[in-house]
């Protein structure tokens, strides 16, 4: 979800912020994100037990990715996120692909999403009422820890690799290739520490990326990002860059969202987006999600969802300046059940 409130010194909005707000207005004051890609791919029979995770399907079954994208659009999503979260040039090269082939696979992740959108628009082109609903493609960029596939995206501990220049070198060409594929947005997701956020900001400027981006951090305590860095410091870094159109939280237990929204709003006037997980915790050794508290995930999600509404009202947000982005790990159908947006 994205909200608007005044009184916070922010970077000059620039083209990125203006584009986001135009899309919000075109969506009638709200936009909805798709849900979990990997969960749906597995539901369709994909085996994602691989360091590439969902990006494996760019190689083996692009038709499944296209189908999941299309399912989410049919269910009401305004934004579909590409299968590139764990797709990197280095990761593909480790599978024996050349640099050129690896770059082509990154491009393909965006092309698949574009194809799904075109399929939907073609299927609905004969409607008597023209469709004005925004349908946007966001190119996903996961953290360095996602490439490592060792759970460090949930700790932010990169050891000796944790230097600014190393992270910039790692992400630079990947960012350029995805931007050249012309998505509508670039989604820097599950950012675990402020160092990687700073690397992204510098790359956006140095590479002169004109496509609007969002920064989304993950938290395990409702105060800090998973590395222990202050969320306020991380959000401030995102706020400093005019190329960043929204700031938010993803892959975080729903019970923390209320406080995180309020924390982010202290340091930025940019739109705020949220797409939490179902409340589970990732076990890096077992490489699986585990339940950390005995609740019904559905009712617990709804209860926490109601709490977010309170924080939105507390901010005194004005209609027409709210971008509601929800993200569910249950299924595409849940978008139509109202679990992914705040009324």
Residue 9 lies in a domain: no
pLDDT the model gives residue 290: 54
Least confident of 28-32, 83-87, 252-256, 293-297: 293-297
pLDDT the model gives residue 280: 60
Residue 329 lies in a domain: yes
pLDDT the model gives residue 191: 98
As a whole number, mean pLDDT of residues 71-94 equals 94
- pLDDT over 70 (residue 124): yes
Nearest to 2 by CA among 38, 36, 37, 27: 27
Rounded Cα gap, residues 177 and 252, in angstroms: 28
CA atoms within 13 A on the CB side of 285: 0
Instruction: Give the tens place of pLDDT for each residue, 30-62.
Output: 789 998 898 898 888 878 787 887 888 898 899
Work out how many domains the chain is built from and give that number.
1
pLDDT band at 320 (very low <50, low <70, confident <90, very high): very low
Residue 111 lies in a domain: yes
- pLDDT over 50 (residue 299): no
Residue 26 lies in a domain: yes
- pLDDT over 90 (residue 184): yes
- pLDDT over 60 (residue 268): yes
Residue 68 lies in a domain: yes
To the nearest 10°, report the CA torsion of 26, 27, 32, 38.
Answer: -50
Residue 270 lies in a domain: yes
- pLDDT over 90 (residue 100): yes
CATH number of the domain encompassing residue 218: 3.20.20.330
- Whether 32 contacts 294, CB under 8 Å: no
Rounded Cα gap, residues 71 and 66, in angstroms: 9
């Amino acid at each position: 979800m994205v909200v608007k409130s005044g009184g916070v010194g922010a970077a000059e909005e620039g083209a990125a912020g203006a584009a986001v707000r135009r899309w919000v207005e075109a969506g009638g004051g709200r936009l909805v994100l798709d849900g979990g890609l990997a969960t749906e791919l597995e539901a369709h029979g994909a085996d994602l037990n691989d360091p590439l995770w969902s990006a494996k399907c760019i190689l083996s079954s692009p038709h499944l990715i296209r189908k999941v994208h299309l399912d989410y659009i049919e269910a009401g999503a305004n934004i579909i996120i590409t299968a590139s979260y764990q797709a990197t040039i280095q990761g593909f090269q480790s599978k024996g692909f050349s640099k050129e082939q690896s770059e082509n696979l990154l491009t393909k992740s965006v092309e698949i999403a574009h194809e799904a959108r075109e399929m939907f628009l073609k299927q609905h082109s004969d409607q008597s009422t023209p469709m004005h609903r925004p349908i946007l493609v966001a190119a996903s960029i996961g953290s360095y820890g996602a490439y490592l596939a060792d759970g460090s995206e949930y700790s932010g501990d990169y050891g000796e690799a944790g230097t600014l220049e190393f992270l910039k070198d790692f992400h630079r060409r990947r960012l350029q290739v995805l931007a050249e594929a012309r998505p509508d947005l670039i989604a820097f997701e599950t950012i675990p520490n402020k160092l990687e956020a700073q690397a992204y900001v510098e790359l956006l400027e140095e590479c002169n990326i004109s496509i609007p981006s969002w920064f989304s951090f993950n938290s395990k305590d409702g105060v800090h990002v998973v590395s222990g860095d202050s969320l306020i410091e991380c959000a401030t870094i995102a706020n400093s860059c005019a190329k960043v159109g929204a700031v938010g939280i993803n892959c975080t237990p729903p019970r923390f969202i209320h406080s995180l929204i309020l924390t982010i709003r202290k340091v930025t006037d940019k739109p705020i987006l949220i797409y939490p997980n179902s409340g589970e915790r990732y076990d890096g050794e077992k490489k699986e999600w585990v339940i950390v508290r005995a609740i019904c995930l559905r009712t617990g999600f709804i209860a926490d969802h109601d709490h977010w509404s309170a924080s939105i009202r507390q901010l005194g947000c004005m209609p027409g300046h709210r971008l509601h982005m929800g993200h569910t790990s249950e299924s595409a159908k849940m978008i139509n059940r109202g679990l992914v947006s705040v009324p």
